[in-house]
Protein backbone atom coordinates (compact mmCIF):
# COMPACT_ATOMS: atom_id res chain seq x y z
CA UNK A 1 0.00 0.00 0.00
CA UNK A 2 1.27 3.46 -0.91
CA UNK A 3 1.34 6.21 1.72
CA UNK A 4 1.27 9.78 0.43
CA UNK A 5 1.93 12.52 2.97
CA UNK A 6 0.34 15.92 2.48
CA UNK A 7 3.40 18.05 3.29
CA UNK A 8 2.84 21.73 4.08
CA UNK A 9 6.52 22.72 4.38
CA UNK A 10 10.07 21.62 3.65
CA UNK A 11 10.31 20.14 7.15
CA UNK A 12 7.13 18.13 6.61
CA UNK A 13 8.48 16.77 3.33
CA UNK A 14 11.81 15.91 4.96
CA UNK A 15 10.03 14.20 7.84
CA UNK A 16 8.02 12.17 5.32
CA UNK A 17 11.20 11.06 3.60
CA UNK A 18 13.01 10.32 6.86
CA UNK A 19 10.07 8.25 8.14
CA UNK A 20 9.87 6.18 4.97
CA UNK A 21 6.72 7.52 3.27
CA UNK A 22 6.39 6.72 -0.41
CA UNK A 23 5.36 10.11 -1.77
CA UNK A 24 4.43 13.65 -0.76
CA UNK A 25 1.81 16.04 -2.02
CA UNK A 26 3.47 19.41 -1.48
CA UNK A 27 1.20 22.32 -0.62
CA UNK A 28 0.79 25.32 1.66
CA UNK A 29 -1.91 26.35 4.14
CA UNK A 30 -3.55 23.08 5.12
CA UNK A 31 -6.03 25.00 7.30
CA UNK A 32 -7.85 26.17 4.15
CA UNK A 33 -7.58 22.87 2.32
CA UNK A 34 -4.20 23.56 0.74
CA UNK A 35 -3.04 26.01 -1.93
CA UNK A 36 -0.10 26.13 -4.34
CA UNK A 37 3.27 26.14 -2.53
CA UNK A 38 5.91 28.73 -3.37
CA UNK A 39 8.50 28.32 -6.11
CA UNK A 40 11.25 28.38 -3.47
CA UNK A 41 9.64 25.57 -1.47
CA UNK A 42 9.12 23.37 -4.52
CA UNK A 43 12.69 23.92 -5.70
CA UNK A 44 14.20 23.16 -2.29
CA UNK A 45 12.24 19.92 -1.90
CA UNK A 46 13.08 18.73 -5.41
CA UNK A 47 16.76 19.68 -5.16
CA UNK A 48 17.48 18.45 -1.64
CA UNK A 49 15.15 15.48 -1.10
CA UNK A 50 14.72 12.19 -2.94
CA UNK A 51 11.08 11.45 -2.15
CA UNK A 52 8.62 11.39 -5.05
CA UNK A 53 6.94 14.80 -5.07
CA UNK A 54 3.52 15.73 -6.41
CA UNK A 55 2.57 19.42 -6.20
CA UNK A 56 -0.88 20.80 -5.42
CA UNK A 57 -1.82 23.55 -7.88
CA UNK A 58 -4.72 25.52 -6.44
CA UNK A 59 -4.23 29.29 -6.82
CA UNK A 60 -6.59 30.27 -4.01
CA UNK A 61 -8.96 28.89 -1.41
CA UNK A 62 -12.69 28.58 -2.04
CA UNK A 63 -14.36 26.94 -5.02
CA UNK A 64 -12.72 25.22 -7.99
CA UNK A 65 -14.37 27.25 -10.73
CA UNK A 66 -11.51 29.43 -11.94
CA UNK A 67 -11.58 32.56 -14.07
CA UNK A 68 -9.27 32.99 -17.04
CA UNK A 69 -6.47 34.63 -15.05
CA UNK A 70 -6.53 31.93 -12.36
CA UNK A 71 -6.51 29.19 -14.98
CA UNK A 72 -3.49 30.76 -16.70
CA UNK A 73 -1.69 30.83 -13.33
CA UNK A 74 -2.26 27.10 -12.88
CA UNK A 75 -0.88 26.42 -16.36
CA UNK A 76 2.19 28.53 -15.68
CA UNK A 77 2.76 26.69 -12.39
CA UNK A 78 2.60 23.37 -14.26
CA UNK A 79 5.36 24.58 -16.57
CA UNK A 80 7.45 25.61 -13.56
CA UNK A 81 6.94 22.23 -11.88
CA UNK A 82 7.98 20.47 -15.07
CA UNK A 83 11.15 22.59 -15.31
CA UNK A 84 12.01 21.83 -11.68
CA UNK A 85 11.64 18.07 -12.14
CA UNK A 86 8.50 17.39 -10.10
CA UNK A 87 6.97 13.95 -10.42
CA UNK A 88 3.28 14.82 -10.46
CA UNK A 89 0.59 17.49 -10.42
CA UNK A 90 -2.50 17.58 -8.22
CA UNK A 91 -5.18 19.86 -9.64
CA UNK A 92 -8.46 20.06 -11.54
CA UNK A 93 -11.28 22.41 -12.51
CA UNK A 94 -15.04 22.39 -11.89
CA UNK A 95 -17.83 24.28 -13.60
CA UNK A 96 -20.16 26.62 -11.70
CA UNK A 97 -22.54 23.71 -11.03
CA UNK A 98 -19.63 21.65 -9.57
CA UNK A 99 -19.54 19.19 -12.46
CA UNK A 100 -16.12 18.38 -13.94
CA UNK A 101 -14.85 21.00 -16.39
CA UNK A 102 -13.56 18.34 -18.75
CA UNK A 103 -12.21 20.75 -21.35
CA UNK A 104 -10.00 22.74 -19.02
CA UNK A 105 -9.02 19.75 -16.89
CA UNK A 106 -7.88 17.96 -20.05
CA UNK A 107 -5.78 21.00 -20.94
CA UNK A 108 -4.03 20.73 -17.57
CA UNK A 109 -3.49 16.98 -17.98
CA UNK A 110 -1.94 17.38 -21.42
CA UNK A 111 0.28 20.22 -20.23
CA UNK A 112 1.42 18.14 -17.24
CA UNK A 113 2.74 15.22 -19.29
CA UNK A 114 4.95 13.28 -18.65
CA UNK A 115 4.21 14.09 -14.99
CA UNK A 116 1.46 12.09 -13.30
CA UNK A 117 -1.88 13.83 -12.75
CA UNK A 118 -4.10 13.50 -9.68
CA UNK A 119 -7.56 15.09 -9.60
CA UNK A 120 -7.87 16.62 -6.13
CA UNK A 121 -10.70 16.71 -3.61
CA UNK A 122 -12.77 19.00 -5.80
CA UNK A 123 -14.19 15.58 -6.69
CA UNK A 124 -15.96 15.56 -3.34
CA UNK A 125 -18.17 18.43 -4.53
CA UNK A 126 -19.48 16.82 -7.73
CA UNK A 127 -23.23 16.06 -7.80
CA UNK A 128 -22.84 12.70 -9.58
CA UNK A 129 -19.75 10.74 -8.57
CA UNK A 130 -20.41 7.84 -10.96
CA UNK A 131 -20.53 10.13 -13.98
CA UNK A 132 -17.60 12.23 -12.75
CA UNK A 133 -15.39 9.19 -12.22
CA UNK A 134 -16.05 7.98 -15.77
CA UNK A 135 -15.18 11.44 -17.06
CA UNK A 136 -11.86 11.41 -15.21
CA UNK A 137 -11.09 7.94 -16.53
CA UNK A 138 -11.84 9.09 -20.09
CA UNK A 139 -9.56 12.11 -19.58
CA UNK A 140 -6.68 9.86 -18.57
CA UNK A 141 -6.44 10.94 -14.93
CA UNK A 142 -4.24 8.50 -13.00
CA UNK A 143 -5.77 8.93 -9.56
CA UNK A 144 -8.47 10.86 -7.73
CA UNK A 145 -8.14 12.07 -4.13
CA UNK A 146 -11.43 11.66 -2.31
CA UNK A 147 -13.01 11.13 1.08
CA UNK A 148 -16.18 9.67 -0.40
CA UNK A 149 -17.82 13.10 -0.14
CA UNK A 150 -17.69 13.07 3.66
CA UNK A 151 -15.71 15.27 6.07
CA UNK A 152 -13.58 12.22 6.94
CA UNK A 153 -12.77 9.26 4.73
CA UNK A 154 -13.77 6.76 7.40
CA UNK A 155 -17.29 8.25 7.27
CA UNK A 156 -17.31 7.89 3.50
CA UNK A 157 -16.02 4.29 3.47
CA UNK A 158 -19.11 2.82 1.82
CA UNK A 159 -19.09 5.46 -0.92
CA UNK A 160 -15.37 4.90 -1.42
CA UNK A 161 -15.97 1.17 -1.87
CA UNK A 162 -18.56 1.93 -4.56
CA UNK A 163 -16.02 4.12 -6.37
CA UNK A 164 -13.38 1.40 -6.03
CA UNK A 165 -15.74 -1.17 -7.55
CA UNK A 166 -16.56 1.20 -10.40
CA UNK A 167 -12.91 2.06 -11.04
CA UNK A 168 -11.96 -1.54 -11.92
CA UNK A 169 -8.26 -0.62 -11.93
CA UNK A 170 -8.85 2.06 -14.58
CA UNK A 171 -8.05 4.84 -12.08
CA UNK A 172 -6.59 4.78 -8.57
CA UNK A 173 -8.84 5.85 -5.70
CA UNK A 174 -6.53 7.77 -3.34
CA UNK A 175 -8.25 7.83 0.04
CA UNK A 176 -7.75 11.03 2.02
CA UNK A 177 -9.09 13.22 4.87
CA UNK A 178 -8.70 12.12 8.45
CA UNK A 179 -6.59 9.10 7.57
CA UNK A 180 -4.39 8.13 10.51
CA UNK A 181 -2.53 5.22 12.06
CA UNK A 182 -5.74 4.44 13.95
CA UNK A 183 -7.83 3.76 10.84
CA UNK A 184 -5.35 3.14 7.98
CA UNK A 185 -5.64 -0.65 8.25
CA UNK A 186 -9.38 -0.37 7.58
CA UNK A 187 -8.71 1.08 4.13
CA UNK A 188 -6.11 -1.56 3.33
CA UNK A 189 -8.49 -4.34 4.37
CA UNK A 190 -11.15 -2.78 2.13
CA UNK A 191 -8.82 -3.18 -0.84
CA UNK A 192 -7.56 0.34 -1.42
CA UNK A 193 -4.00 0.67 -2.71
CA UNK A 194 -3.17 4.26 -1.74
CA UNK A 195 -3.88 6.52 1.23
CA UNK A 196 -3.20 10.21 1.82
CA UNK A 197 -2.55 11.74 5.25
CA UNK A 198 -1.04 14.90 6.70
CA UNK A 199 0.11 13.14 9.90
CA UNK A 200 0.13 16.59 11.48
CA UNK A 201 1.29 17.68 14.89
CA UNK A 202 1.05 21.22 16.24
CA UNK A 203 4.27 23.19 16.56
CA UNK A 204 4.45 24.83 20.01
CA UNK A 205 4.40 28.63 19.73
CA UNK A 206 5.07 30.87 22.71
CA UNK A 207 4.86 34.10 20.69
CA UNK A 208 1.78 36.00 21.89
CA UNK A 209 2.15 38.56 19.09
CA UNK A 210 0.68 36.06 16.63
CA UNK A 211 -2.79 37.48 17.43
CA UNK A 212 -2.13 40.11 14.76
CA UNK A 213 -2.18 37.44 12.09
CA UNK A 214 -4.81 34.98 13.33
CA UNK A 215 -4.80 32.05 15.70
CA UNK A 216 -4.33 29.15 13.27
CA UNK A 217 -1.69 26.87 14.80
CA UNK A 218 1.37 25.89 12.80
CA UNK A 219 1.66 22.19 12.06
CA UNK A 220 4.28 19.81 10.72
CA UNK A 221 4.04 16.21 9.54
CA UNK A 222 5.14 13.96 12.40
CA UNK A 223 7.85 11.34 11.87
CA UNK A 224 6.31 9.30 14.68
CA UNK A 225 2.82 9.30 13.14
CA UNK A 226 4.12 8.54 9.64
CA UNK A 227 6.04 5.54 10.99
CA UNK A 228 2.89 4.45 12.83
CA UNK A 229 0.90 4.75 9.61
CA UNK A 230 3.45 2.64 7.75
CA UNK A 231 3.41 0.04 10.49
CA UNK A 232 -0.37 -0.10 10.41
CA UNK A 233 -0.50 -0.79 6.66
CA UNK A 234 2.49 -3.17 6.66
CA UNK A 235 1.29 -5.42 9.46
> Which pLDDT score, from 0 to 100, does residue 211 have?
66
Residues 6+ apart with CB under 8 A from 60: 35, 70
> Which pLDDT score, from 0 to 100, does residue 151 have?
96
CB-side exposure of 104: number of CA atoms within 13 Å? 19
Question: Which CATH number is 2-234's, of 3.40.630.10, 3.20.20.380, 3.30.500.10, 3.30.70.100?
Answer: 3.20.20.380
What's this model's pTM, rounded to 2 decimal places? 0.95
Q: Provide the residue-wise pLDDT of the chain in tens; the chain has 235 residues.
A: 999 999 999 999 999 999 999 999 999 999 999 999 999 999 999 999 999 999 999 999 999 999 999 999 999 999 999 999 999 999 999 999 999 999 999 999 999 999 999 999 999 999 999 999 999 999 999 999 999 999 999 999 999 999 999 999 999 999 999 999 999 999 999 999 999 999 999 988 756 556 667 778 889 999 999 999 999 999 7
Count of other CB atoms within 10 angstroms of residue 188: 16
> Which pLDDT score, from 0 to 100, does residue 204 have?
81
> Which pLDDT score, from 0 to 100, does residue 192 have?
98
Closest CA to 171 of 200, 215, 132, 206: 132
> Which pLDDT score, from 0 to 100, does residue 210 have?
61
> Which pLDDT score, from 0 to 100, does residue 160 have?
98
Task: Give Cα separations from 206 to 120, 150, 203, 212, 218 (angstroms).
Answer: 35, 35, 10, 14, 12
**Domain boundaries, given as residue ranges, for the chain:** 2-234
Amino acid sequence: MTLEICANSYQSAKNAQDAGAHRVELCSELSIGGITPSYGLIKKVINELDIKTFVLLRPRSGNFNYNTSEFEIIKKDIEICKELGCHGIVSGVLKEDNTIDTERTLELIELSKPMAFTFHRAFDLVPDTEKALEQLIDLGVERVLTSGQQPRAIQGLNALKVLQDQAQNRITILVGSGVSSANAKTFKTAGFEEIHASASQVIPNNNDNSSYFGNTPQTVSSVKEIKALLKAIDD
